[in-house]
Structures are given as structure tokens and as C-alpha cells.
Structure 1
Amino acid sequence: MLPQALAARLAAAGSKVKAVCAAPGLAATNLQVTTNQNGGMKETWIMRFAQSAEDGTMPLLQCCIGSGVASGAFVEPSGAGNMWGPPTEVKLTKKENDPATMEMLWAASEIACGEWKL
């Protein structure tokens, strides 16, 4: 929800900056290796279904240089429960676009990180 709140603020300020969110899905990266070393993902069977680290970057690349990605968009893999596959923009639910919740999250973020000004 934070990218949607930021997108609204950027648009209100007349900014051309886009605020987008990307999820890599399940990717075989060093995050899983180090988590496993620290007792987190103990050689789980799920990693057999992981895509490559390179494929995990595709949603991020789509957000950065893909055509048609608007500010406030959320992009993640399109296949197998959004774990892998070509990137796709996710249609956000009414709950995920709730203005009151966005304002609450924004206020909590500013308390934690300080006021942000455009």
C-alpha cells in the first residue's frame, strides 16, 4: 500500500516520478542459502520449484523499463501461485486501495522514519 500512497502524493505534486512495487516470486538466490545456514529454510522441498535469480529480476525490470507500468502498480510473476513465470501487473483489491488505510500506513511510516516532503 505504501507505493500507492506515494504514487498519489507524487501525482498531487505534479511529479513525473513513478512509485511501483515488484515481487520476485520464489527465486534461487543467496537469501535462501543464508537463511538455510541460519536454520530458517532447512533444505525445503519448495526450493525445487524456484526460478533462477535472473528470472526473479524480471518483475523489477518490468517496473523499471517495461511499457505501460503506471505509478502505483504492483508487478509479480504470473505462474504457479505467483512464484515464477513472466511478470504481470496485479490488479489490486478494493481493500488494498483503501485511502484510510493508506493514510494510516503513511502516518506510521513518517513516525518511524521521519516526515517526507516532495
Structure 2
Amino acid sequence: MNLLLIYIVVIGGIFIFMTSRGNRKRQAQAAQMQTALVVGAEVRTIGGMVGEVVEVTDEHVLLETTPGVRLKFIKSAVAGVLPPAEPEAGEHEVENQTEAGTEPEDGRPENSVSSSRVEAALSRHSGDD
């Protein structure tokens, strides 16, 4: 009976130690991430919003999601700092084609919409009046 009690106490102690160790690691990572919040860094919030840090205070972070749109978040709402984006090789080739005035492989400009699709959309909306 005494041996069973000792096992329970030892296993309980190990469990408490492991959970508190994990919590300390998470707290250290969160503190490190919050110190990485500097003006100009691109961050992602826990809700999935991505923006550039414009201002940092003790409790809040001001993010600019699109030009002219600024949102205020609590520091703990920031999930992570995103690494700077580097263009991939394929994206670089498309940029060079656009700058040189060439068209993509299918012969249509990138943002063009086929005329049949436009006509179909117009005919659907003209009957709504």
C-alpha cells in the first residue's frame, strides 16, 4: 500500500514538472516574439489578419493592413512575426515578362476577361431592371 502511494506521488510530481516546464517555454517564446515587434515588421494576428507594425506601445500594437487602414490590437493578439518575403524564381520571370511588354503563354494579358464572359454577365444584369 505504501509503495503504491509513493508511485502516485512520484508520477504526479513528474507530471507537474513537465507541464510547468512547457508553460515556461511558451511564456518565453511569447515574450521573445513581443520584443520582436518593431516598427516595419510584418505580423500575423491570432485571427489571421496580416499587417505591418506602425506603432508599438506597452499594451497595444498599431497595424497597417492596407494603405490608409490602421487597426489597433492588444500585443497578445499577435500570433507571430512573419519573415520577409523573397520573390520566387517563377514570380521574377513573370515580372520580367510584364516589364518587357510580352504577354503570358496563352496570349492574353494577365487581367483580361474573355468577351463572352463579359457579355453573359451584362445580359444577366440587363434583365434585372
How would you bin the TM-score normalised by the shorter chain?
A: under 0.3
By relative contact order (CA 8 Å, sep 6+), the higher-ranking structure is 1
TM-score normalised by L of structure 1: 0.21
Select the structure of larger CA radius of gyration: 2
Q: Give the alignment's TM-score, normalised by structure 2.
A: 0.20
